[in-house]
Amino acid sequence: MNVIEKSITLKDGRVITLETGKLAKQADGAVMLKMGNTMLLATVVSAQDAGPDVDFMPLSVDYKEKFASLGRFPGGFTRREGRTSDYEILVSRLIDRALRPLFPDDYHAETFVQVTLYSGDAETMPDCLAGLAASAAIAVSDIPFHGPISEVRVARVDGELVINPTRSQLATADLDIMVAATYENIMMVEGEMNEVSEKEMLEAIIFAHEAIKDHCRVQEELAAAVGKEKRVYSHEVNDEELRKDIWAKCYDKAYAMARQCNADKHLRERLFTQVKDEYLESLPEEEREAKKMLVGRYYHDVEKEAVRRMILDEGLRLDGRTTDQIRPIWCEAGPLPGPHGSSVFTRGETQALATVTLGTKLDEKIIDEATEQGKEKFLLHYNFPPFSTGEAKPSRGVGRREIGHGNLAHRALKRMLPDGYPYSVRIVSDILESNGSSSMATVCAGTLALMDAGIPIKKPVTGIAMGLITDNEKYAVLSDILGDEDHLGDMDFKVTGTVDGITATQMDIKVDGLPYEILEKALEQAKQGRLHIMNIIKETLPEPRPELKPHAPRMVTLTVDKDQIGAIIGPGGKIIQDIQEKSGAVIVIEEVGNQGIVDISASNAEAIELAVARIKAIASKPEVGEVYEGVVKTITAFGAFVEFMPGKDGLLHVSEIDHKRIEKVEDALKEGDKVRVKLIDIDPKTGKFKLSRKVLLPKPEGMEQQNDRPRGDRQDRGDRQDRGPRQDRGPRHDRGPRPERRDRE
């Protein structure tokens, strides 16, 4: 067994080790990445040949986390890992987007990359190591690849940029982005920020790239030590004469079609397809079917070049706009009466319908991943039905693209929700039309829907997708790109933010050697586009509505002592269930530190007021000297037990019922009677409560302040001296024996 190891030392002293030759040796490439207790196994397998009709790169990337990696059981009835979670899909996409552009254009063998977390710890974030592990596995394989690459997370913590921060550090970061790059070029950026400037974001990207260069060097050393040669392949059969003929006969026609500058994408598609179909018709009938796939491939290159040259040479775009021009926008707040908030945002041929739903803590999303557990109060779901692009096919659930786009919009908006907002919030964005930038339309529609719902967001957020066309001599940065410009261009760069800074970004670069100067220009042009859209948003709805919709739930939050939570809940939940049943409110109690946070929600104020009153009555502390309205619960020989506060009983002794002597408690009180009592004492040892009723009753005439029982005039009884001295009255035994105490009573 020939085990080879290489290591990378981070600036803070942590060490990443790449090991190959020990595990999964039948894969084309396998590397175990180690950092502290975190261990990721990355494998890659690629078919030896490609199918005859495959003219693309069939790459599948999967990231999986084993619950055993942190000593946990999976949830569910089967107690085993199930379908890929949203988090695992997002990590898979981060790896895929960095790797996919670097396989040779003519390599079409089916390829599978699998990265699995087998060991972890609470502080190390495995997602920022997965791309490095996957690239290292390809580097030690015989699969052709224009890498290596690496991915790192860069965060700004207390004003300092940090590579691959710990989970604790990340919790306080105001900038959190993932960056993927080769030694020479940035490939992918994705992350969220707390309204940072374009300059600050660019500094973070450059900082990340410097760290990535070390990762790439070590992978090259690892590959050299393994010494495996890259495979020889032939996945395409080309016809150079056919290629030249198509260029000669179709380029000018395609350019002419592009210059018509049609805003209707379906019309443009038909016009471009018409050029290709006319060429196919010109071929001998017996050759058409055999050459159809090659004609499609070569004509695609012709169309791509025609559109790119028109943009670079004439500054014209497919729909007639200039490079920095935004498509026409119209939007509406509150088009739907049923949801708690809604909006429509339309930009050109892209349209998003967003709805907002407000809920309680019971509606929070439960996060139960291998490496993370918790709850999420703010949710955003993005749907992309086939009709949005005019496709005749059924909807079959949510795909990876929808999860990725929804996550980007979620990150763009989440920092703008009010701090400590008590509601759970769910945004659903349905894309009704699509021709580029549907995720950015979701951000804009989401902002409007939040404001329409009456949620006092800190600031509105807008987003824009930028593109790039370059031939290494000229370049054009495109604002608000179309779907075709995304497909034919060299960069897809999405930026979201407020008037004061960037909140989220996602960038995919498809060209080598993109200078930072171009990236800086794209960021500035994106800022101008965002501000243009912001003005339209504010014209539609200048600020959040002052009130929630009438049918939206109202919520009140109370804070009680931790030791009073049990009294509110009651034995077996009896009290809280009774409060909810009689008031109609929903009550959720959460223990935070030494306090209980009580959220009370209902669709009307009366229900909330009733629930609040009962909870306050339970949670308030008994105070000596206070007067209460109580209910007699139990009668005993020596008094009555009175519930003077919810869940709190005190003893009303027989001597404290009335000023006059009470022979039997039942003569004055019976169970169920309402009685006003005063709390006169709390036993410091037992905590028992002593009550009095008589102190609230008027004193009978002749009763002295210092004695509760009526007395006669002392003078009527004679002076003690008149009785004579003790010895004159004889010995005490002469008076007869004293009765037993029980007889006296």
709: which 2 tokens?
């029982």
DSSP string, 506-551: EEEE-SS---HHHHHHHHHHHHHHHHHHHHHHHHH-SS--SS--TT
Q: Scanning the structure block, which residue is given the tokens 């670079």?
A: 312
Q: Scanning the structure block, which residue is given the tokens 């809604």?
A: 342
Query: What b/e readout covers 208-227, taking b as 16+ CB neighbours within 10 angstroms?
Result: bbebbebbbebbeebbeebe
Annotated binding site: 486, 492
Q: Which of helix, strand or coil describes residue 125?
A: coil
CA distances to 101, 727, 741 from 731, rounded to whole Å, are 121, 7, 22
Beta bridge partners of 19: 5, 32
Count of CB atoms situated within 10 Å of the CB of 741? 7
Preceding amide of 698 cis, omega within 30: no
346: which 2 tokens?
């339309």
Chain-centroid distance of CA 232 in Å reads 45
Q: How far apart are CA 601 and CA 611, in angstroms?
A: 9
Count of CB atoms situated within 10 Å of the CB of 486? 18
Q: Scanning the structure block, which residue is given the tokens 């949670």?
A: 619
Annotated binding site for Mg(2+): 486, 492
DSSP string, 250-266: HHHHHHHHHHT--S-HH
Is the torsion defined by CA of 519, 520, 525, 527 positive or negative?
Answer: positive
Asked if residues 320 and 78 have their Cβ atoms less than 8 Å apart, the reply is: no
CA distances to 97, 344, 439 from 411, rounded to whole Å, are 19, 20, 11
